[in-house]
Chains A and B, each alone.
Chain A
């Protein structure tokens, strides 16, 4: 069962990611990214991370992707024109990606001590997660709340009309 679910949702993940690259319309890319994120939530569930699966659906597939699709619609982003791209991307970027993938793949395939994941064991409960979060990692947790506050202020300041160069919108 685990094997079947893994293949189905890993397939969804890869298909969504490849579709993201192939589509030329931003909204189609955004929808395929939602597919990727939701399938990743199922994979988290298979790995026993219940809380993260829920958070993935709510935060990533929900909040962040709503924001992205809203911006796509707000800016009326049309079909992108394909250009050749930069020379640096072709000369350095793609060989570097291929090399990184090859290195990671060989390392992973030579790992001996990796375990196996079975359905229904090794589930991390949310209570366990909360205990560690609010005892050992309390300071980082509080710092992230400050980070969120600053990010909200920054987003409002950036997106407000009529400051700096952005007077074209007025």
Chain B
């Protein structure tokens, strides 16, 4: 049991998890057909990148890496507010959230 408590995790596993989460976010953005779920996939990608920032901050013992995550969070909050307001006004104008029906700007 004592050896179990002393286990350590290579930081590259965290990076691997971050890469997989990012890819899942991209796949979600491609296969989802609903504005809100596409928005959530973008949030997932942002979170994945934050995880690799924190991992590298740990690797190089750099505080700036963690502060960058802090700034990403602030920008993500601003982005969420504006993005959801845009979604609401799109819904008001078109009464739909399906991206296939929002094709007025298509050639």
Contacts and interface: CB of A to CB of B under 8 A. Distances in A.
Contacts, number: 246
B43 to A, nearest CB: 7
A5 B32 CA distance: 31
Main secondary structure of the interface of A (DSSP, over half): helix
Interface residues of B, number: 74
Contacts of B37: 20, 26, 29, 80
A41 to B, nearest CB: 10
A71 B50 contact: no
B87 A71 contact: yes
Interface in A59-97: 59-60, 63-64, 67-68, 71-72, 74-75, 77, 80-83, 85, 89, 93-94, 97
A49 to B, nearest CB: 5
20 contacts: A2-B9, A3-B4, A14-B17, A26-B40, A43-B54, A47-B57, A51-B66, A51-B70, A52-B69, A52-B70, A60-B73, A64-B80, A68-B43, A72-B36, A116-B9, A117-B9, A117-B10, A152-B81, A154-B81, A161-B92
Closest A-B pairs by Cβ, 6 of them: A151-B78, A3-B7, A158-B85, A80-B34, A155-B85, A159-B85
